[in-house]
C-alpha cells in the first residue's frame, strides 16, 4: 500500500470519526408548550361557551360550564380546547377533551373536564366537531 493510500484512509477514518462523534449536550430552556388552535375556523358563529367555573376533584383543577349550539344541525363528536393562562394571558398549557354528548340545534350541554394544570384563569373553545346531517326520503 502506498503512502498516499494510507494517508487517504487515515483522512477518511478521521472524517468518519468526527462526523459520527456525539456532540456535547447544551443547556437549553425547556420547550414552549404546544400551541393548538381550534380546527374549525369561525366556530364562534355556531357555538357559545360559558366562562368555566373552576373546582377541585382529587386534588386537581377541573372546569365546568356549558356549550350552546346556535346552528341548525346537531353537533357530534365535539372536542373542547382548554387553555391554562397566567395573569398576563399567556398560554401555559393546553388540553383537548371530549364533550361527551351530541349538541342538538339550540341546545345547551353541560361539561366537566380536567384542566391541563393549575393556572390563574382558563379559556375554553370548541376545538373540533362534526355536523350530523340526515336526509329523508318520501315515497310518492
Contact 75, 129 (CB under 8 A): yes
DSSP-assigned letters across all residues of 46-100:
TEEEPPPEEEEETTEEEEEEEEEE-SSSEEEEEEEEEEEE-TTS-EEEEEEEE--
pLDDT of residue 58: 93
pLDDT of residue 29: 61
Q: In whole numbers, what is the pLDDT of the chain averaged over residues? A: 86
pTM reported for the whole predicted model: 0.72
Can you list the domains of the chain with their CATH numbers?
A: 43-132 (2.60.40.1620)
Task: Tell me: pLDDT of 108 over 80.
Answer: yes
Distance (Å, whole) CA 105 – CA 132:
10
- Dihedral class, residue 45 (left if φ above 0, else alpha if ψ from -120 to 50, else beta): alpha
pLDDT of residue 18: 59
What percentage of the chain exceeds 90 in pLDDT?
A: 66
Query: What pLDDT digit, counting tens, does each position of 3-46 carry?
Result: 666 676 766 666 666 566 565 656 666 656 568 899 989 999 99
pLDDT of residue 137: 74
Reduce the DSSP state of residue 115 to 3 states and report it.
coil
Task: Tell me: pLDDT of 81 over 90.
Answer: yes
Chain-centre distance of CA 80, in angstroms? Answer: 9
Distance (Å, whole) CA 87 – CA 85:
7
The residue with cell 372546569 is 63
Question: Which of 134, 135, 132 shows the shortest CA–CA distance to 75?
Answer: 132
Amino acid at each position: 500500500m502506498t503512502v498516499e493510500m494510507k494517508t487517504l484512509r487515515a483522512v477518511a477514518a478521521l472524517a468518519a470519526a468526527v462526523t459520527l462523534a456525539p456532540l456535547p449536550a447544551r443547556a437549553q430552556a425547556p420547550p414552549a408548550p404546544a400551541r393548538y388552535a381550534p380546527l374549525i375556523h369561525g366556530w364562534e358563529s355556531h357555538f357559545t361557551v360559558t366562562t368555566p367555573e373552576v373546582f377541585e376533584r382529587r386534588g386537581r383543577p377541573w372546569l365546568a360550564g356549558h356549550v350552546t349550539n346556535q346552528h341548525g344541525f346537531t353537533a357530534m363528536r365535539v372536542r373542547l380546547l382548554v387553555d391554562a393562562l397566567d395573569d398576563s394571558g399567556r398560554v401555559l398549557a393546553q388540553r383537548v377533551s371530549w364533550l361527551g354528548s351530541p349538541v342538538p340545534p339550540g341546545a345547551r350541554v353541560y361539561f366537566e373536564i380536567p384542566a391541563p394544570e393549575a393556572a390563574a384563569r382558563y379559556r375554553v373553545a370548541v376545538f373540533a366537531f362534526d355536523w350530523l346531517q340526515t336526509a329523508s326520503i318520501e315515497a310518492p
